[in-house]
Amino acid sequence: MNDVLTTAREQVLARGDGLAEDQLFEVLSLPDEAIPELLELAHEVRMRWCGPEVEVEGIVSLKTGGCPEDCHFCSQSGQFESPVRSVWLDIAELVRAAKETAATGASEFCIVAAVRGPDERLMSQVRDGIAAIQAEVDINVACSLGMLTQPQVDDLQEIGVHRYNHNLEAARSHFPSVVTTHTFEERWETCLMVRDSGMELCCGGLVGMGESLAQRAELAAQLAELTPHEVPLNFLNPRPGTPFGSLPVMESEDALRTIAAFRLAMPRTVLRYAGGREITLGDLGTRDGLLGGINAVIVGNYLTTLGRDVEEDLELLGELRMPIKELSKTL
């Protein structure tokens, strides 16, 4: 067995202490031949510290496109020549989307807006939307509305937002190559406010954006430092018209190493498959990731792109004997 995996077995599996950044770099540098052993260990860690359940979530875009920020991976920025046009979802459609999500057995429904941070119009729409969902649908509501002020954090907590998503997106050292309209520190601040509010913090990132392996390890370590309840792991899906539109799709072996490394960095977190898994990993890789540290999935479509067929994902979970986490257990 490789040295770092021997150490991980003792440190992470037995004691529940995540690997440090230098150890994560070693994991990410493992040769392809070591991947099966790495995934097996990451799976054991997930089973030991999280259990066999898988948390299922659906997401919807409340406000699409026209974002003033310049996140280089995002087709919703108003600064790039992207074919995505600005559009708002009304409350009736939002409630319908929540119902569709709940019907899959999901326990979480996340409302997302492409903004720097919410203005009063958006906060009002979110308040009305959440009240309408809570009146008709039995599901936890999460939000992702960009950077927040403390009063907005308090408002969201008060109206019953269960979890708030705000990704770091990239490691601190790589961030200026990914976003120039706000800083890593601004993102970090919102994450700290959310974490201290009583809402659960959902904070992840994207890989495959030209970062080095050291920067990938750095991202995992910085996420671990925030101790988020959930980490959504996105793989870059290069979007036409964006600055990252011509980057190559990440190799599936690298994606699997990253999944396992994130699990070994954060043994107890909800580690969720988010965007880009379909083009990066395909069907077989999706299965490998679920047996390599992942314990949550976004089912159905994403914000501007489409996902795998919901029924295929649910069948796969059944086949792997991974029960869907029930709503009552997350309340």
Partner 1 sequence: MMFCDHCGERLDSGVHTECEKRRTLEPPRYCPQCRRRMKVQVTPRGWTATCSRHGETDSPS
Q: Which residues bind partner 1 (CB under 8 A)?
A: 58-61, 64, 83-87, 89, 93, 96-97, 100-101, 104, 240, 278-279, 299-307, 310
Query: What is the nearest approach in angstroms of partner 1 to the Cβ of residue 164?
Result: 19
54 vs 97, beta carbon nearer partner 1:
97
Q: Between 36 and 83, whose beta carbon lies closer to partner 1?
A: 83
CA angle, residues 196, 199, 203, in degrees to nearest 5: 85
CB 56 to partner 1: min, Å = 11
Q: Minimum CB separation from partner 1 for residue 172, in Å?
A: 31
Rounded distance between C-alpha atoms, residue 230 and residue 225, angstroms: 13
Considering the complex, what minimum distance in angstroms separates the CB of residue 18 from partner 1?
32
Identity of the residue, 13 or 299, whose beta carbon is nearer to partner 1 in the bound complex = 299
Cβ proximity to partner 1: between 82 and 167 the closer is 82
Please, which contacts does 279-287 make with residues 24 or more away whose CB atoms are closer than 8 Å?
279/235, 279/237, 279/249, 280/208, 280/235, 280/237, 280/249, 280/250, 280/252, 280/255, 281/235, 281/252, 281/255, 281/256, 282/252, 283/308, 283/312, 285/252, 285/255, 285/256, 286/313, 286/316, 287/316, 287/320
CB of 301 to partner 1, least distance (A): 5
**Nearer Cβ to partner 1, position 109 or 262?**
109
Are 129 and 94 contacting, i.e. CB atoms less than 8 angstroms apart?
yes
